[in-house]
Each structure stands twice: as structure tokens, then as C-alpha cells.
Amino acid sequence: MTNQTKHIVLTLFLLIALSNNAFTQTDHHLWYNKPAEKWTDALPIGNGRIGAMIFGGISQDHIQFNEETLWSGKPRNYNKKGASKYLQEIRRLLFEGKQKEAETLAETEFMGSKSEAGDKTRWVSEMKAGKGITGNPSAERYDDKLWKTLQVPSYEGWEIVGLSNLDGAVWFRTTFEVPANWVGKDLVLDLNRIRDQDFTYINGQLVGNTDNTEPRKYTIPAKLIKAGTNTIAIQVLNYYDKGGIAGYKDTKRHIGVYPVGSNIENGVSLVKKWKYKIQNEEPPATAQYQASYQPFGDLNLYFKNDKSTVSNYKRTLDLSTAISTTTYTLNKVDYKREYFASQPNQAVVIHLSANKTKSITFEAGLSSPHLHSIVKVVNNNTISISVKVKDGALKGESRLTAVVKNGTLKIVNQRINISNADEVTLYLTAGTNFINADDVSGNPVSANTKALVSLKGKTYNQIKQAHIQEYQSYYKTFDVNFGIAENAKLPTDERLVKFAKASDPAFMALYMKYGRYLLISSSRPGGQPANLQGIWNDLLSPPWGSKYTTNINMEMNYWPTEILNLSALNEPLFSKIKALSVKGTETAKEYYNANGWVLHHNTDLWNGTAPINASNHGIWVTGAAWLCQHLWEHYLFTGDKKFLQEEAYPMMKQSAQFFEDFLVKDQKTGWLISTPSNSPENGGLVAGPTMDHQIIRTLFNNCIEASQTLGVDEGLRKSLQEKVKQIAPNKIGKYGQLQEWLEDKDDTTNKHRHVSHLWGVYPGNDITWDKDAKMMEAAKQSLLYRGDDATGWSLAWKINYWARFKDGNHAMTLVKMLLKPATDGASGSYVNLFDAHPPFQIDGNFGGAAGIAEMIVQSHQGYIELLPSLPDAIPFGEIKGVMARGGFELSLKWNNGKLENVEVKSKVGGTCIIRYKNQMISIATKMGETYKLNGALKLL
């Protein structure tokens, strides 16, 4: 059969499949033929509150778990008192072009307050004096025979090479050989970066001590060196986050020793395994601007399996049921494990079975990376682990209960031992003392007790069916089919590798479903919103604290909710916005002497709203206004006027009131501008970033329309109508680009991952083809200059941009980049399809799913546009349950890139305008009615 014949057969097969209710054939599975080796290989499950990562090992299965309210920190005031008295001086400096001076003043006087620090001086003194370790490890002949070894260096911290979740004091020792012709010469010891402080010894003598991130390049005096073997001993003190001898980010550059005046190429490399010994794991508390999301613990199942004789291994995640499964055959017995996170019963449930009786034998144990954790026996089939977050207010308890069918169960050494059972069901529950951001008086035991009471008297199948029913109430509102591909028969990791060069549109459909799965699993009504890693984190010091970054990442998490028919999952976000509006009111007064509320570029469990990190990017004032866009979009998609009146508009109004007070007239142009602020996270502290003006202008326009709809606040409406005309407009610069700042100073060679000044293209509608095609072209030019390559979440944002630019093939290029293996520190997707910044950030999953939908349906210009950016790579397709503004639910099909038909269900009634290519139709709809149209937009 020729390739052309194969293509014709496949095309006919796809056409038949699409015409015969192809949704019954769509793929909802991630699957693999080997256990997870790394955390980013493992499969995620979650019920919105408890999340778990399933490794699916054979002789040992690892289930790492989280509970959404276990964070570092405690309730406190994040605001610096009296910061507003420096506002005018910062503005003056910026208006005079003195950016560095403005940043220096702001760094000192305008940042948020940090948490309380511990006694660092005392701890360092104790570590130097040898507390916690025997003898003097710096000595040349110190006996280190029993020490373990660790690969050195590790730029991303010793956590990556074996010392995960460790802060504290660690000794490292190794030797190097000195040739005879080096004797009498001073040598260079080049270690580059060490995190955080080091005391470095050569043959027992101190040669260097540094306590910052500067490169370590110490001179070793000739008198300390001898021909032959020499000893290096380094005491590394790590206070917080990544630790160890980091070396160079470019791994081709070696740390090592060489004569002064030479280089490492003529020296001795120290890239190898060093001996190490942990001296202390309790450094003093480091002052922090905000808190970090924490792991809770680990459940390990230990089997006496000889994994070398295992066959038919498969681990799967079924997105349609939110159940992960591990199956394999051993000694002619078929084994099966099912894992899911039940929302109705608030437990992670693990069911072990086999096709032969008395075949289930294993031990189950709980542990935690938290230093302060205790495992206890609760009763004859339950163990617990209690944890306390270091230097914080939160503590938690998790319980593991086993229910056995036949066989024996006993608890030995605080592990559950099960022998010769037919079936076993494990229930893992968890709770903390968190009640709200101001109250930590709860009892961690209560959540466990409540969950276990709800499970009592129910069979495994009853619990499983209740889980599926509740989960599918969200999941089944939507489905998508882009056809059937040859690579669909491959394991997901192999399919990912091949996607960049293969025709596999079905993989994109699977990715959309996975995005919806992840959001359902990490954001349920009544809980916390999905954070930077959703609900999954295994590190005590996760990247960026696994917080809520509000200059893109938190918002991107919720881009799929409306368009992908998950509107109810906004509830945690909206509750968070309400809580932030309270805290942000105090910040508005303290920093800007303004009414309303403000939120800067990050927040956490405790709802901090003050500027953090550094003045060159942390003073960004439009976080609240961007979040208010989500409130308005919810109204546009649902038509819920009660929500608008009681929840959305009050917070939108208060945000607008802040900007009424905050905006100032630019001395040169006369426009109202935002200052001090930042174009995230690029260009430093400035006056008048374009992104701010787009967001504020959109907020004002939304408030004007909302007040008209509700018939309220005529005075405010008139004030906003007057001021919105005075806000600095979008401007086209000398390179034909949309200017990122008030001044025409864009650098066309800048490839920064943030493309913030295009906010008005997406997710906003400040710039559209209908409003100003010329400005859209300028925005596109900006994106072309910025380039395609980026971090994972940035790729996702760019997919949405190119969809709005109506260039589906360019958007498809970005999809290919997002769905490529994240190897060697590159962006893309990990084995489990988690988005790689790198490291893992879940926003790329959500932004990518929303972006593919934006290629199919858009509704931001006052009408519904079908297939506006359909790439050539998706010639066939069917999608049902996609949502559009105005309260419309759509199902549509296309073949050979052309629309075949569309069904429109009107949720609230009203006029529905639909556009496809050059055709347009307006339908006066009634609530609850469905309207069917053909590819020519003729009513059927």
C-alpha cells in the first residue's frame, strides 16, 4: 500500500468516524508501560483539597500527597506602615528619568514587610563550633569513611541530587591530586556559586568564606599545597530554598583547581561524587515576604515482588473517571491497583486486587519531609502521621485506614502489614488547623474523623461510583475529537516525543481534556484556588513558593473555566478575590493613600497584597484589576445578573475607585498614567506601562457597562466615563510595534518571556480586529520581535495571542513547542504532561488548553466567531459543550477545514450573532432552546 493510499484510507476512516458519533471513540487516557521514576513522571489525582502523585512502582509504590491548606507562614500584617509618604518622591524620580534612584528608594521604603527572622548569628556560630558533628571535619586526616556520597556540583541545589527538602549545615569532603610542577605555585579554587554560605578548607586551613551568591574563586597559597593528594573540606550553610555547591549553570564549565594565571582546562576538575555529612537540619527562620505551599507526606507500599519477572505492566490515568490504574502480571497472577481522590468522601482511595485469592501481601507506611512529624498507631487498622510546618503556624494530621477482604492485618513498627488478602482498600485522609487567613484554631483531626465517618458502612464500589458521578458532573459537560491518529496506540511518553514531527491532532484533544481534568482536580467549590502547581508539590521550598503569581500565572489557571464549560470551578477564585479585596483595602491606604483595593504581583494562603521580592518588578499595581476581569467574564459567559450585582460589581467598583485615586497626569503628554509600576517582569520600575493602561481602561469600561446594566452609581459612571478617555492610549512605535511603555524604547532583540503589553489582545479585548486593525498588526509585530521560544506558560499565552491574530498555523507551531519533551532544562511538557517552565508550573497546561479552544471559537468582539484560527493540522473535528459569551453553549463539526454544522443552546436567551468566514447570522434566542445551523449558517 502506497503512502498516498494509506492517507486516503485514513481520511475515509476519519470521515466515517466523525459522521458516526465519534465521541464514543475519543481517547481519555494517559498511559505508560513502566513505573514513574521521577515526580514529574507520576500521575496526579485530586479532589480539590487533597492531591496525590501516583508512581505505580512494582516492589515499592509511592503515593506523595498534599492538602491545599498546608503552607508555611502564619497570619500577620504584610503591609509596611507609612509607605505612602514615599510615593510622591518615587514618582518624582521616575518623571525625572532617575529609574535607579527610584528603585533604590522603593527597595528600602516601599516593599512589604517580611516575616520574623531567626537568630542567624547564633546558629552560624554554633555550626562553626561543630555543634551536631563529631570531631573536626575540616582536618586533613579526618575519618570520613562512613560518610555517604553526593554528586557535586548541582546548580539547581542539592535537592536535585539526593538531599531533597533539606535546609541546614552540611559538610563536603573530597581530594584532588597535585602534579609536582604545581608545587610552589598559588592555585585557584573555582567553585562558582554556593548556596548560601561556605567555609572552605584546604588541608585543614581556611582559604575562603562567603555569604552571598557571588562566585567563589579562592586563591590557595602555595604553602598549603603539596605534591600528590590534597584535601578539600567545605562546610555549607543553607538557610532556605536551594542548597549546596551549585557550580555553573552551564554544565560544560567545570568547578576545579588550577594554577593562578591558567584556567580549568589546564587544571583538575572537581565534578564528581563528594563525601558528605549532615550536621544540622534546623537553620534559623529566614525572613520571607510571603509563604510557600507545602507537601504533606508520603504513603509507601512495600511488596515482596521480584520486579524482574513482571510482565504486562501498564499504568493509566483515565480522565473520564479520574481513576489511575496500575496493572501487571507476576507468577501468572494478574494484579490491579486503582487510585482516586474522592470528593464526596474526602479521601484518597487505593484498591488492590488480583485474579487469584490470597495474593495481596504488602506493608504500608506513612512518612513526611517535614522535620517535625510523628507516626502513631490509632487503632488496629489505622495509623496516622502528624506534621508541623517549621517556623509556621500550621500543623496537620493524615490517617491511613486499611479494610481487608480475608487475609490478615496487623500493625508492626507503625506500619500496616497485610498478608494473603483477596482485596484491600486503603483510605488516606488529611486535615490541618487552617480555618481562614486570620484563624488557625482548627483541629487537624476533625477532617480525618469526618471523612472516615462518611466512609463507614460503604463498599468500595459504592465509594467509587459516588466519586465517578460527582467528578463527571464537571467533566462530561464537554468533549472534543480531532480525529484518530496512528500514534494514539503509543504510550503517552513515546507519543510526546513523536508529536513535534507527527500528524497527531488527537494528542491536542487529549491535552485539552487533561487541562480540564487538572482544573477539576485542583479547584473545587468551597476550597482554595489552584496555585502555581495546582495542588501538587513535593518540596518544602518549591519553585516561586508554589504561590499565586497574579501578574499572569494565577489568572492563566482560570482561563479554561468559562470557554471549556467549567464555570462552577471559578468559585474558589472568586472567594479568594473577595478575601484579597479586604486585605488590599489596607494596602491601598498604607501605600497609596487611596480608596478601593490593590493587589501586587503575588499572594499566598494568607492573602498578602503588598509589594514583594524586589522593587524592579514587585511594584506592579494591576493585579486586582486583572482578577476583576474574571468576575466580569463570568457574567458575560453566564448572564448571571445576581452574581454581577452581589459579588462581581462591588469588587470591580472598589478596584476602579483605587485607580481613580491612583492615576496621575503625565507631565509630558497630559495623559493619565499608572506610576510607579512595572511591565511584568521586564524593564524595571517605570511610569506608564502599556499593560496597566489596557487593564485599567478595560476595568473602567466594564464598570461603566455593569453600572448601566444594574442601574446604579450614576455619579461614579460619569466620573469613569470622563477619566477613561484620559488614560494613555495604546501607541505604535518606530519599529511598527505596539509600545510596551509610554516612551518608544522597545528593544526588538529582547526575547523576554513576558509579553505583557499584549494583554489587550488576550485575555482582554482592548485591542481587536474590529476596533483597530492597525493596532492589532502592531501587536502582532511586537510578538514577532519577541519570538516564539519561551518558558512553558509563555508558550501557552502566545498560543492564545496567535489565535486572536487569526493565524492558526503559527498558533500550531507554539502548540508543538508546548507539547515537546522537557529535557535538559528546556520548556515543554514532562512525561506526565505537566507543563515545564521549567521547572513545573501548571499554568501552561491551563493556558494551552484554553488556547486550543480559542482557535476553534472566539466571542470577545460582541459575536461568536467559528473556526477563526483553525490550523491546517486539524482538518477534521467535533467539539461539544464549548461556551461563548452571552450564555451560549455550542457543539460544532468541521471536515476538511470547513464548517459542517453547529448547534447553539441558549442558556439565558437574547440575541446570538454568529460569524463564520464572511457569513453572519443573528438569532433571537429563547432561554433553554437549541438552534441548529448548517455550514452556511442557515437554520435547520
Convert the pLDDT of each residue in 636-669 to its tens digit. Answer: 999 999 999 999 999 999 999 999 999 999 989 9
CA distance 266 to 254: 11
**Distance set, CA 590 to CA 76, 362, 598 (Å):** 15, 58, 11
**Encoded amino acid at 344, one letter:** P
**Distance set, CA 180 to CA 185, 225, 651 (Å):** 10, 10, 75
Cell triple for residue 486?
496512528
Please give the pLDDT value at position 213: 85
Tell whether the model's pLDDT for residue 518 goes beyond 90: yes
Confidence of residue 825 (pLDDT cuts 50, 70, 90): confident
Region 517-542: what's the mean pLDDT?
A: 97
Nearest partner of 870 among 861, 862, 879, judged by Cα: 879
- Dihedral sign for Cα 775, 778, 782, 783, please: positive
Please give the pLDDT value at position 305: 79
Question: Helix %, strand %, coil % for the chain, to 5?
Answer: 30, 30, 40
**Encoded amino acid at 918, one letter:** N
Mean pLDDT across the chain, nearest whole number?
A: 95
Contacts of residue 12, defined as CB under 8 A and 6 or more positions apart, other chains included, come to: none
Confidence of residue 11 (pLDDT cuts 50, 70, 90): very low
> According to the per-residue pLDDT averaged within each range, which of 85-89, 156-160, 823-827 is highest?
85-89
Region 67-77: what's the mean pLDDT?
A: 98
Tell whether the model's pLDDT for residue 423 goes beyond 60: yes
Tell whether the model's pLDDT for residue 587 goes beyond 80: yes
Phi, psi (degrees; rounded to nearest 5) at 588: -60, -40
Tell whether the model's pLDDT for residue 1 goes beyond 50: no
Please give the pLDDT value at position 308: 79
Write down all domains in the chain, each with its CATH number in brackets. 24-72+290-486 (2.70.98.50), 84-116+548-729 (1.50.10.10), 120-280 (2.60.120.260), 731-829 (no CATH)
CA distance 259 to 495: 50
Region 192-201: what's the mean pLDDT?
A: 97
Region 854-869: what's the mean pLDDT?
A: 98
Cell triple for residue 412?
508492626
Respond yes or no on whether the N-terminal peptide bond of residue 868 is cis (omega within 30° of 0).
Answer: no
Q: Which contiguous run of DSSP H or E holds residue 800?
A: helix 792-804
DSSP code of residue 644: I
* Packed helices 623-638 and 571-592: angle between N→C axes, nearest 10 degrees: 150
CA distance 913 to 933: 12
**Distance set, CA 769 to CA 27, 409, 616, 866 (Å):** 36, 68, 33, 15
